[in-house]
Amino acid sequence: MVQHILVGVDGSHPSVEAAHYAMGLAEQTHAKLTFVFVIETPQVIPVGPLSGYVTTSAPRSQEDVKKAEAIVEQIAREKPALAVTTRVELGTPAEVMCELAGQLEVDLLVVGARGHNAAQRFLIGSVSDRVVHHAPCPVLVVRR
Ligand SMILES: Nc1ncnc2c1ncn2[C@@H]1O[C@H](COP(=O)(O)OP(=O)(O)OP(=O)(O)O)[C@@H](O)[C@H]1O
Ligand SMILES: [Mg+2]
């Protein structure tokens, strides 16, 4: 029985569609939902002894947190009858989602097949790929 569904939302169209799919499931199963938006924090990667390092993303501000909150809250408001909790976390998206899935003991983790990066070189994005491999629970990858 599905009682609690975690959904990864990054604000991209496929992630919003994944959230809608999860909301449809929740209506049928009466499961509660948690929407999580992970704000990617910069990671420092050494690129060689002489060349220094690169960072993977720009430092994040309070404004980014507000925008992320607004996105997940807006989706949650679409179906007031559902029990939806929204969260904004900082970190590496796939890691945070897998950890949260374990902590909250959810029965299902839902993500979109793609996110903001429309490059079609891979069938699914790197975040969906990682959660499929590492989540402690069943994963549903929504392809539309
Ligand atoms: N920062 C995030 N917070 C929450 N969920 C996320 C985040 N990033 C991705 N996801 C989830 O993973 C799904 C697939 O996104 P992913 O990032 O894997 O694809 P992509 O952006 O197209 O490719 P890539 O990021 O590998 O270049 C999204 O639809 C969303 O459900
Ligand atoms: Mg992405």
Closest ligand to the CA of 114: 1
Two structure tokens written together for 112: 């979109």
Q: CA 48, CA 78: separation in Å to the nearest integer?
A: 49
pLDDT in tens, 101-119: 999 999 999 999 999 997 7
Please choose from 7, 9, 10 the residue to mutate so as to test ligand 1's pocket, defined by most ligand atoms within 8 A of CB. Answer: 10
Range(s) of the domain holding residue 62: 4-142
Specify the residue with its C-alpha closest to ligand 1, atom 7: 10
Contact assessment for residue 117 and residue 125, using Cβ atoms and an 8 Å cutoff? yes
Tens digit of pLDDT for each residue in 71-103? 999 999 999 999 999 999 999 999 999 999 999
Mean pLDDT of 19-36: 98
- Total structural domains in the chain? 1
Distance (Å) from CA 48 to ligand 1 centroid: 28
pTM tops 0.85: yes
87: domain CATH number is 3.40.50.620
